Structure 1
Amino acid sequence: MQQTSTDLIIIGGGPIGLACALAAKNNGLGYVVLEKGCLVNSLYHYPVNMTFFSTSERLEIGGIPFVSNQPKPGRNEALEYYRRVAVAAKLNIRLFEKAETIVRESGQFEINTSAGNHFTAKYVIIATGFHDLPYLLNVPGEELPKVTHYYNDPHFYAFQKVLVAGANNSAVDAALETWRKGADVTMVIRKGEIGRRVKYWVKPDIENRISEGSIKAYFNSTITAIRETEVDIQTPDGPVTIANDMVIAATGYQPDLPFLRKAGIELSADETRKPAYNPDTHETNVPGIYLAGVICGGMDTHSLFIENSREHAEKIISHIIAAK
């Protein structure tokens, strides 16, 4: 077991966690970034062909330019950019080391990790995003190996009977990309239309493929059971059973709010479960613990993005420096 004492622990090695690390380093603070997976782990789990809504300059952190081949960069370009940022700035990052507990003792925070290491710091920034926990279908058969909540590469699904659950960007990308690789694709959508947040240059594509019958879609419908070679669907016209090889449950993700509660951070009583923090400083109701990035929105995961969360880093570090 390793014991380390520093000024600041940053939990989460995504773009906003890295922005906090850059700001900390630029202001002479000692810090350690703890990331439970690989560098920018959430982005790594995006589909390989994903394109961002944002232009490259809106994804920049620490004033380091992000040059991409197209105005809207793809996943691989973003992974390379953030890796180069980490290398160029020589950021102090501990990968594949999950922060498991945060306890305040004698004016310091004690953090224990999955690697058995122990850290103490006066300040903590939680920048864990919202890709930790997928929304489950909660139906029989969801545990089968053919079911995934993390769609990645369309080639894997070539010539298979694929069911895609969901109607937003991840689901639409999965449906179109696997269909173009030769899959027989069926979508199951809880509401009566494709999601309104679907990228504007993709939405007409999926609607046209459904309209012409290339991709089958059951609207106002839900999955009720999954078996090795079939899936049961409840539709407005009654139950339907279809032949199936693979299920992509692109039903979205949620932040690890229990982790915040265990640290003493209060959550709102409404459905957003928004954490308590000062929007001017991003300090929570627990003095010395700050929130950065999408986690600030609680269950409202569509209000914050990289481009409008980058400023959190400077707000937090400025407050910490002023308090020292």
Structure 2
Amino acid sequence: MKSFDLVIIGGGPIGIACGLEAKKKGLTYLIIEKGPIVNSLFNYPSNMQFFSSSEKLEIDDIPFISKEAKPKRDEALEYYRRIVTSNQLNIHLFEKVEDVHKSEGAFKVTSDKATYSASNIVVATGFYDLPNTLNIPGEDLPKVSHYYLNPHYYARQKLAIIGASNSAIDAALECYRKGSEVSLIIRGPEVGQRVKYWVRPDIINRIEEGSIKAYYNSQVKEILEDQIIIDTPDGEIAIENDFVLALTGYMPNFEFLEKLGIELSKDEKKLPSYYPDSMESNVSGLYLAGVICGGMETHKWFIENSRIHAKIIIKDILRKRAGEKSS
């Protein structure tokens, strides 16, 4: 069983930042990622453009050069992959952490491939793994997906998109322009206010001209093989349908956090317990980094404002280590 000063669970941008900082400070470390490098970004839509400009996505002051001010998915994949490879980071890919158990001051990390011992743990798993489900009949049909990759698949199809945030609106516009007959089902009275400012006018214009049909203040009640049932302000209606994209957001793996002993707030936000000045959770030696710190408030933390977590965490680990040596 290999031992490390630090095991980092999650190989996204913030997990990579933690690995870089650990290596720079001379700590032994291992990053464990259940998929490829920056797995969450890899599963983003193929044509996605970030809200943030490239310099705000940089980690460890390594320049991120993109064609436009706001980079696209493939440019981000290239950037973070090059950081991992050129710095020869110690990262295990396609390896899933199944259990973390603390005993006698050390953590035992068990994955589907090996077991490790670590003095400290960083959980940087993000929130993109678990979709917010609709919990309605028919949601498990093969034609329903909670993830969107490419508009080509939906060309010449009747496509219902559920949601009003960036992912839903981007998908609606892309698929419409590739020949889909798009219906937008929006629970609220309007397109989300957080939609990218250069995209929101576009979708509103497409709706107003009738190119995309929007159902406001509406919810899908049931999904059938060839149609969907929608509850609208004018009553229940059925529309013909080939595919459904339920892009209603995602959430952290709270079950995994609770299994680690991390306390969550009792309200709907499910905020995990941690100290902002160290990022250490209520479990000594177990740190949180990145988006996962916001619980259900997934719009609170981004790469640009959580990349500092890496330096905060490593500084605290070194501080405690120095204290142990002096005592």
| Deviation by residue 1:61-98 (Cα, 9 ceiling, x = unmatched) | 11211100111000000000000000011011111111
Q: Which TM-score applies when normalising by structure 2?
A: 0.97
Alpha-carbon deviation of 1:48? 0.9
Of 115, 118, 141, the match for 1:118: 115
Residue of structure 2 in register with 1:195 after alignment: 192
**Partner of 1:29 in structure 2?**
27
In structure 2, the residue matched to 1:57 is 55
Q: Does 1:308 align with 2:305?
A: yes
Q: Structure 2: how far apart are the matches of 1:62 and 1:91?
A: 13
Give secondary structure in 2 for the equivalent of 1:204: helix
Q: How much has 1:114 moved relative to structure 2?
A: 2.0
Structure 2 residue matching 1:228: 3-state secondary structure: coil
Q: Which one of the candidate residues 253, 261, 265 is aligned to 1:256?
A: 253
Summarize the alignment of residues 206-245 of structure 1 with structure 2, pairs less than 5 Å apart: 206-245=203-242
User: 1:137 and 1:263 mapped to 2: Cα distance?
Assistant: 27
**Residue identity matched to 1:63:** D
Deviations 1:91-147 (A, max 9, x none): 1111111111111011100011122x1011000000010112101111111111111
Query: Secondary structure of 1:77's match?
Result: helix
Q: CA deviation at 1:319?
A: 0.6
Please, what is the CA RMSD of the aligned residues? 0.7
Letter in 2 for 1:268: S
Structure 1 consecutive aligned stretches of length 4 or more whose deviation exceeds 4 Å: none
Question: Shift of residue 11 of structure 1?
Answer: 0.3
Distance in 2, matches of 1:164 and 1:114, equals 35
Residue ranges of structure 1 left out of the alignment (5+ in a row): none
Cα distance in 1 for residues equivalent to 2:229 and 2:264: 37
TM-score for both structures, normalised by structure 1: 0.98
State the distance in 1 between where 2:309 and 2:81 align: 21
Amino acid at match of 2:203: I
Q: Distance in 1 between matches of 2:52 and 2:170?
A: 17
1:42 equivalenced with 2:40 (yes/no): yes
| 2:291 aligned residue | 294
One-letter amino acid of the counterpart of residue 234, structure 2: D
SS in 2 for 1:136: coil
Deviations 1:218-276 (A, max 9, x none): 11111111111111111111111111111001000000111111111111112211111
Which residue in the other structure is 1:11 paired with?
Answer: 9
Q: Aligned partners of 2:128, 2:190: CA distance in 1, in Å?
A: 24
Once the two structures are superposed, what CA deviation does each residue of 1:145-170 show, in whole Å capped at 9, x if it has no partner? 11110101011111100000000000
For residues 45 and 189 of structure 1, the distance between their equivalents in structure 2, rounded to whole angstroms, comes to 24
State the match for 1:91 in structure 2: 89
Structure 2: 5+ residue runs without aligned partners? 322-327
Task: Say which of 297, 309, 318 aligns to 2:315.
Answer: 318
The share of aligned pairs that are identical, in percent, is 58
What pairs up with 1:30-179 in 2 under 5 angstroms?
30-115=28-113, 117-179=114-176
Aligned pair count reads 321
Corresponding position: 1:266 with 2:267: no
User: Deviation of residue 208 (structure 1)?
Assistant: 0.5
Deviation at 1:322, TM superposition (A): 1.2
Letter in 2 for 1:274: L
Please give the alpha-carbon distance, in whole angstroms, between the structure 2 residues aligned to 1:264 and 1:106.
15
Q: Distance in 1 between matches of 2:271 and 2:245?
A: 29
- Once residues 318 and 255 of structure 1 are traced to their aligned partners in structure 2, the CA distance between those partners, rounded to angstroms, is 26
**Shift of residue 185, structure 1, vs aligned partner:** 0.4
Q: Separation in 2 of the partners of 1:276 and 1:226? A: 38
Name the amino acid aligned to 1:319: D
2:37 partner letter: L
Match of 1:204 in 2: 201
Aligned partners of 1:47, 1:94: CA distance in 2, in Å?
24
Distance 2:52 2:285 in 1: 32
| Structure 1 residue 323 displacement after superposition | 1.1
